[in-house]
Amino acid sequence: MTKVIFKDLGLIDYKEAWDYQEQLFKATIDDKIKIRNGAKDIETANYLLFCEHPHVFTLGKSGNEENLLLNENELIENDAHFYKINRGGDITYHGPGQLVAYPIFDLDHFFSDIHKYLRFLEQAVIDTLEEYGIKSGRVDGLTGVWIEGDTPRARKICAIGVKSSRWVTMHGIGFNINSDLSYFSHIVPCGIDDKAVTSMEQELGQKQNFKEVSLILKDKLAKLFSYEYI
């Protein structure tokens, strides 16, 4: 069975976590190149990083900077940072109470299909929410996990944005557990201006056990992708 190295980074600065992802991502790609060039006794590693970030807004490659509604001074006033990054998608928010999951997977160990990969990430969150009696799903043409997605009350509970090269992935999931949703008012989330954002806390009316939710998502990912942790 495929092995995945799991690391819980706790509350970590966004740039520090991004640099760490890049380091693992590059090492995996370098190993893949060596293997394709005939190197023996090398196998690519797979990683799953869990963390939370201090308040930060990130803009994907295809995003519009106008979807950030704060200027530089207002960012400082809100104790937040802003980064243009190398994942797909538009703008999103990360902050305390949001579970961020970064799989650095060599998809050659699983399946070479980035759309299937995105659907598996979504499904792991959908299955996690089901454990709490929250019914969620997808919206056609939009990545992520939604509640009442096919109604005028559609609200997003999880954003997903990834990068891949040579079938190696990075970036990933932003899952709102106990997030301060007021920060989403400072952006046009994912460039979508007609749908709301929510969290488990908001849906259930009370703060959730962050550690417990994290462990359930960790387990759901392993079952969907058929791997074990080391």
Residues known to be catalytic: 190
Q: Report strand pairing: 227-229 vs 56-59.
A: unpaired
Q: Do β-strands 168-176 and 98-104 pair in parallel, antiparallel, or remain unpaired?
A: antiparallel
Q: What angle do CA 196, 198, 202 make, to 5 degrees?
A: 135
Instruction: Give the integer Cα–Cα distance in Å for 196 and 153.
Output: 8
Q: Which of 142, 25, 4 is nearest to 86 (CA)?
A: 25
Contact 176/199 with Cβ under 8 angstroms?
Answer: yes
Could you give phi then psi for residue 126, rounded to 5 degrees?
A: -55, -45
H helix runs in the chain, sequence order? 14-36, 72-77, 114-130, 200-204, 210-225
185, two tokens: 């008012």
Between strands 91-94 and 56-59, the pairing is antiparallel
CA distance linking residue 180 with residue 55, whole number of Å: 9
